[in-house]
Amino acid sequence: MRHTLPIAPQFYVTAPQPCPYLEGRMERKLFTALQGDGAERLNNSLSQQGFRRSQNVLYRPSCADCAACLSARIDVAAFRPTKSQKRAERRNAHLARRASSPWATEEQYALFRRYLDARHADGGMADMDMFEFAAMIEETPVRSRVVEYTDQEAQELIAVSLTDVLEDGVSMVYSFYTPDLPQASLGTWMIMDHIRIARENGLPYVYLGYWVPGSPKMGYKANFSGLEVFSGGHWQCVTDPAGFSATLHPLGTEPIAEQVANISLPDRRPTRA
């Protein structure tokens, strides 16, 4: 099924498939291609409207029976670390950050495989080979970076984040880390370091992907102060994550045509003669 706006891009809807976050639910995504000279502007605009990037595609949940998946970001100015987050800072003080162009390596893939086997062995990426991994990292039409974290003493790669640089923040597209250090809280620490990266560059937000109230897999995102979610067509602060209920009723989701009609697209710049 295809839906179009008066100007490009075109929007499509995926076929329903089992939801990876809420048992017994079916997921569906609204998506568009990310390509051409306007890719950077489109990525910025749609990221601010709850979309996420995967290679050369931008997508947003558009499930028929619920609207539980909420795009989440951290307001950097409002973030205040908790005691446990401060402990994570101290535990990982020996890690060194290195940001580079999006280029996949065998060392990254080996760490990625260990992470998947330990944390997501039954997930959609479980069978991803080196070529598919390289495509995930390298196929990007926008400004992206691979952020590597290395143990300076052991000279060992500990964690990696594929990160997009947006006009108003940094977007953590996909992150993985060694499963051998559960006490290090590496996932939490990587988010905190991206908050630091955003501050260093004068960017107001860190985009985290989707938070799903009621899903244990996604619950960690609610532990960060300054959390905002995109709901009802705008960003809103989450002051009480425990009291924020997921919308599971079919009437909570707008029809596809209405969703597409309400998407704001960046102005198309005139081409040079």
Predicted confidence (pLDDT) per residue in 161-212, tens digit: 999 999 999 999 999 999 999 999 999 999 999 999 999 999 999 999 998 8
DSSP label of 237:
E
In this structure, what token pair is assigned to residue 104?
């996949």
CA distance 209 to 164: 12
Q: How many CA atoms lie within 13 A of 111 on its CB side?
A: 20
pTM of the model: 0.89
**With the C-alpha atoms ordered 98, 79, 143, 172, is the resulting torsion angle positive or negative?**
positive
Contact predicate 170/198, CB 8 Å: yes
pLDDT at position 65 = 79
Longest dimension (CA), the chain: 59
For 4, 16, 69, 72, the CA distances from 28, given in Å and listed in that order, are: 18, 5, 11, 18
Residue 67 C-alpha from the chain's centroid = 17
Quick check: 168 and 44 in contact, CB under 8 A? Answer: yes
- Residue 192 is predicted with a pLDDT of 97
Quote the distance between the C-alpha of residue 153 and its chain's center: 30
Q: How crowded is the C-beta side of 3, counted as CA atoms within 13 Å?
A: 16
Task: Please report, for the chain, the start and end positions of each structural domain, with discontinuous segments joined by +.
Answer: 2-68+248-261
Cα 262 to Cα 218: distance, rounded to the nearest angstrom: 27
* pLDDT tens per residue, range 23-82: 888 899 999 999 888 999 999 999 999 999 999 999 998 888 788 888 999 999 999 999
pLDDT of residue 121: 63
Residue 268 reports pLDDT greater than 90: no
Torsion angles phi and psi, residue 209, rounded to 5: 95, -145
Q: Which two tokens stand for residue 181?
A: 């250090």
Percent of the chain with pLDDT over 90: 63
Task: Kindly state the percentage of the chain with pLDDT values over 70.
Answer: 90
Mean pLDDT of the region 107-111: 97
Predicted local distance difference test score (pLDDT) of residue 252: 59
In this structure, what token pair is assigned to residue 210?
């989707």
Q: Tell me the two tokens of residue 48.
A: 């601010």
Band of residue 107 on the pLDDT scale cut at 50, 70, 90: very high
Burial class (CB in 10 A: 0-12, 13-18, 19+), 221: buried
Residues in the chain: 273
Give the span between the Cα atoms of 150 and 108, in whole angstroms: 11
Q: Which pLDDT value is given to residue 9?
A: 85
Which residue stretches of 139-202 are H helix? 186-200
